[in-house]
Structure 1
């Protein structure tokens, strides 16, 4: 039902922010690959992995094996961060997914990826593109110790220097809206419920419809429409609308 609603709105691009599997069995990665194929072509669907997608060290490479075309840059280059330019919008994918000990759901980007992100975001800023960063663990720092982004403070410092226009994350399964500081003001940080949650869950399945339009020569109007299953019912409806920037 959620998939049909997404397709009915014919988005220009789809972002998936991780945890496509549960306990990282190979069969789960295969099934998730079929689900991604139903969403759209790899060039139209960008994916970053979540902690469940890297839950077990020996299967951590299966995400790349099964979903690699969804996690590649414009020229097919593998690795994170990746950059996909779509008109005036640049989708930048970062991976915070790392294998962890039992009962932990932490993430980490690492110094090399943070530095590469800084370079990419600065270049895209000079190109005057709207920069949308995808990351599974939110970099806000407001999270349980065992579920946190370990190097969130370093990520926030980088963002305060080079900026981004919007950050989309997974992990929390909440329809949240927070912010981190950028060089020109607050950067919206947007979460989303799990796409697999049922209609009786505390936060039923939902998705975020993002609209980006140029506001001025160097700024953007970004609007958010939250769509999701009606609580206890079987229809997908608009649950909230807001203007994030512009």
Structure 2
């Protein structure tokens, strides 16, 4: 059995001191948003406690689906590299960037440089000129990292998935499928219509849905929304591919978004007969400490079956969306 942990939207704090030059960009809106909305709810021991708890579960690998920083300053990206080094060795941690990691022009290039060992595939020669999509093989699992991160105008947090990346991802997924691997795609923005507001949407999600429909995958993991969500995309020959989101790993209880959690996926079986169990673990809104939130079997026929809850389980804060309520990504 292979155990894959999933964290997202780290938003490392506190913010460093910013120069006037740094504030004379889109960063000024993010700076105001941090102090108005995120400073109180996303800074403290929450992230430290969650990561410590996750390490106690001894996952075989950790996936981080973006937004490690807030305003993508140099000090933040360096601090994020140090945080990643504490999280685990590059072999054991796979990262894809989010919109906050590409907050202003030039920031994403700096993020790539600082986090290079965590955002490159097993064959670094494939990363020359373009790191994404990347492929990492760990045991029976093939991890595919794609990037939707780009600098946007103020008040926008959109991402883009372009045709070229789609073609490359399709080729890699097809090869891994023929090799009998369990395929997990890491992406920051949810590739689902209506999963987030228009100014935070993924542009080009029709390319992503076509890739999954044509060549398939066993699991898609994303962040961005700070919600625990489950959607489905059509795969080949009538299969359904689960698309799972996770709340921010830094979110303290009592806000309008669910408190910090991580997902723990248990992958077992063999090609054509995989088993996939999702367990959510994190902070409770009213109880102290970190505990089990929910356990769920994700099956290839598109059904989400809740397993027997743990003794401290509680209902999910975010939506669990039946597949028949989700339009195919357009």
Per the normalisation by structure 2, the TM-score is 0.72
Determine the structure 1 residue equivalent to 2:292. 238
For the Cα contact (< 8 Å) 1:199–1:233, is it kept in 2? no
For the Cα contact (< 8 Å) 2:161–2:207, is it kept in 1? no
Determine the structure 2 residue equivalent to 1:205. 260
- Structure 1: distance between partners of 2:141 and 2:154: 38
- Structure 2: distance between partners of 1:4 and 1:22: 22
Determine the structure 2 residue equivalent to 1:191. 245
Distance apart, 1:141 and its partner CA: 1.4
Whether 1:180 aligns to 2:228 is: no
For the Cα contact (< 8 Å) 1:141–1:153, is it kept in 2? no
Whether 1:150 aligns to 2:203 is: yes
- Structure 2: distance between partners of 1:16 and 1:161: 26
Determine the structure 2 residue equivalent to 1:67. 115
Distance apart, 1:45 and its partner CA: 0.2
Distance apart, 1:32 and its partner CA: 1.0
Unaligned runs of 5+ in 2: 1-48, 301-330
Structure with more of its chain in strand, by fraction:
1
- What does residue range 81-230 of structure 1 map to in structure 2 within 5 Å? 81-142=133-194, 143-184=196-237, 185-201=239-255, 202-214=257-269, 216-230=270-284
Q: Over the residues paired in the alignment, what is the CA RMSD in angstroms?
A: 1.2
Determine the structure 2 residue equivalent to 1:58. 106
Determine the structure 2 residue equivalent to 1:21. 69
- Structure 2: distance between partners of 1:199 and 1:129: 38
Among residues 48, 54, 72, which one is paired with 2:96 in the alignment? 48
Unaligned runs of 5+ in 1: none
- Structure 1: distance between partners of 2:207 and 2:138: 28
Range with greater deviation from structure 2 (105-114 or 230-239): 230-239
For the Cα contact (< 8 Å) 2:182–2:271, is it kept in 1? no
Aligned length: 245
- Structure 2: distance between partners of 1:121 and 1:23: 33
Cα deviation, 1:125-153, whole Å, max 9, x if unaligned, reads 00010000000011111231111110011
For the Cα contact (< 8 Å) 1:135–1:170, is it kept in 2? yes
- Structure 1: distance between partners of 2:85 and 2:289: 23
- Structure 2: distance between partners of 1:181 and 1:160: 5
Cα deviation, 1:120-177, whole Å, max 9, x if unaligned, reads 0000000010000000011111231111110011211121001110000010110111
User: Which aligned runs of 4 or more in structure 1 are off by greater than 4 angstroms?
Assistant: none
Range with greater deviation from structure 2 (195-204 or 221-230): 195-204
Distance change >3 Å, CA 205–CA 145, structure 1 → 2: same
> Secondary structure at 1:113's aligned position in 2?
helix
Per the normalisation by structure 1, the TM-score is 0.96
Distance apart, 1:232 and its partner CA: 4.1
For the Cα contact (< 8 Å) 1:69–1:76, is it kept in 2? no
